[in-house]
Structure 1
Amino acid sequence: MSEVQSSVGGTLEDFLDDLGERQEVYGEAIKRVLTWQIDEARKKQSISKSDMAMRMGTSRTQVNRVLDPHNVAVSLDTLDRAARSVGKKLRIELVDD
């Protein structure tokens, strides 16, 4: 039975586990959501990327990296500073799997 056939009727998590891609997909999905939320808050408050960079104490290039939904190599500290620069607070929690 193929991987796809064995996953029919299973969960998305089971399918991604079968492919060995669950953590990668989840990591990018989480980053995309955070990026979208930060960018929406920035736009709602009419904060330019340059202003955001100044508030974060970094460059506009770094802001572009933070807001790139495909760049998952952004530290929690940087995400926290980005959130705070638009008046938000980053909250992280551990939950049972």
Structure 2
Amino acid sequence: MTKKNKHVGSSFESWLDETDLREEVTVSAIKSVIAMQLSAEMKKQKLTKKRMAELMKTSRAQLDRLLDPDNGNATIESLQRAAHIVGRELRMELV
């Protein structure tokens, strides 16, 4: 008879499901990844935040919020505009 390890509990994923946090964590992670990708592309292209904001026709403060991985209030339209400016495409899909 095999003995179960008493220190092994549920997986992180099952904990997220049990606490109803999976959707919130997933959305936050997606936003963080997009923000990091936009920042990296801006850096690669030597595009300053000031210039990026001008090209997006928005304020520097709004761009800072868009690039903040912890700020989940970015609109799809803003993310699409930012992606277009750096020559990328924002893709979303239902699976």
**Same-fold call, TM > 0.5?**
yes
TM-score (normalised: structure 2): 0.86
**How far did residue 54 of structure 1 move?**
1.0
2:64 paired residue number: 64
1:8 paired residue number: 9
Q: Secondary structure, in 3 states, of the residue corresponding to 1:41?
A: helix
Name whichever structure is richer in helix by fraction: 1
Q: Matched residue pairs, number?
A: 89
**How far did residue 73 of structure 1 move?**
1.1
**How far did residue 14 of structure 1 move?**
1.7
Following TM superposition, the consecutive aligned residue runs of length 4 or more in structure 1 with deviations greater than 4 angstroms are none
**How far did residue 8 of structure 1 move?**
2.5
In structure 2, stretches of 5+ residues that fail to align are 1-5
TM-score (normalised: structure 1): 0.84
The separation in 1 between residues aligned to 2:71 and 2:78, in whole angstroms, is 13
Q: Counterparts in 2 of 1:26-41, with a 5 A limit?
A: 26-41=26-41
RMSD (Å), alpha carbons: 1.6
